[in-house]
Amino acid sequence: MQRQANFPGRVTLVGAGPGDPDLLTVKACRMIKEAQFIMYDNLVSEEIRALFPQDATTVFVGKAKGKHSATQQDINDLLLNAALSGKNVCRVKGGDSFVFGRGGEEMLMLAKQGIEVDVIPGITAASGCTSYANIPLTHRGLAQGCTFITAHADKTLDINWDALAQLNQTLVFYMGLSKTDMLMEKLISGGMSEETPVAFIENGCTPKQRVHIGKLNQLSTLKQQYQIQSPALIVVGEVVSIAEQMHWLTQLSHRQIQPSPLPQHDTKQLLQLTA
């Protein structure tokens, strides 16, 4: 392929976070506003798209299950051609480009063609959506770690389910909505308790966010009962119980709990202690 400009443009892979525009980093906002050519996915919210410069060329290249969408090769060709034409290109992805976003593939492809690539991290859905749902990914006494898993694969999921079920960690499944029966069966047969708390977080970090909580053996039932639609995360682990506690405490505080008065301290003594 012949270069279309003496000085090819640069490409910035921008993680746009899970939906709330206030979660964009300052650097991400700046690069978006300076872009001449923007390619964006279907998980980039309408509020974030409203920040795109009016004079920039914008192209939707989102993928959705069961719907016609651009192939990864189409996306690669478009990215490369835009950069070779000398444009300042932003590839805007929901969440973080390097967490199930194929950002690494696109970065390597461009680098092999001599295109300069910058990467701006974003808040991945597992972190942003669980925080908005009052579910900590780790919590002392409940989970000392967390694991992110994609339930989407071209062929079969190459996962050691027995090991995953016995980690005693928080598990967050991306793109697992169509595989709830399998997730239940694999985790329970691997040794995880049927009573393990689970949560669906639908449209996380947006005004449409919904959170539905139950047990592992209710996973498919919850999906059907509440007609949960993509995008949705599945969270499995004892940390989900924190959200239930927060809900109960919030309701209780509206009725009877009054905040305790702050203890009185000697300011000079505190300053000495922290010096």
Residues belonging to the active site: 41, 63
First to last CA, the chain: 63
Residue 115 neighbours by CB under 8 Å, 6+ apart:
8, 9, 10, 11, 80, 83, 84
* Alpha carbon distance 196, 201 (integer Å): 16
CA 95 to chain centre: 4
Both tokens assigned to 235 = 């969270």
C-alpha closest to that of 167 among 134, 132, 196: 196
Four-residue CA torsion sign, 131, 134, 233, 198? positive
**If residue 163 lies in a helix (H) or strand (E), which one and from where to where?**
helix 161-165
Q: Are strands 37-40 and 89-93 parallel, antiparallel or unpaired?
A: parallel
- DSSP H or E run through 89: strand 89-93
Contact assessment for residue 61 and residue 39, using Cβ atoms and an 8 Å cutoff = yes
For residue 80, the number of C-alpha atoms closer than 13 Å in the C-beta half-sphere is: 19
Asked if 260 contacts 230 with a C-beta cutoff of 8 angstroms, the reply is no
Strands of the 146-150 sheet, one edge to the other: 146-150, 170-174, 232-236, 197-202, 210-215
Q: What is the DSSP letter of 263?
A: P
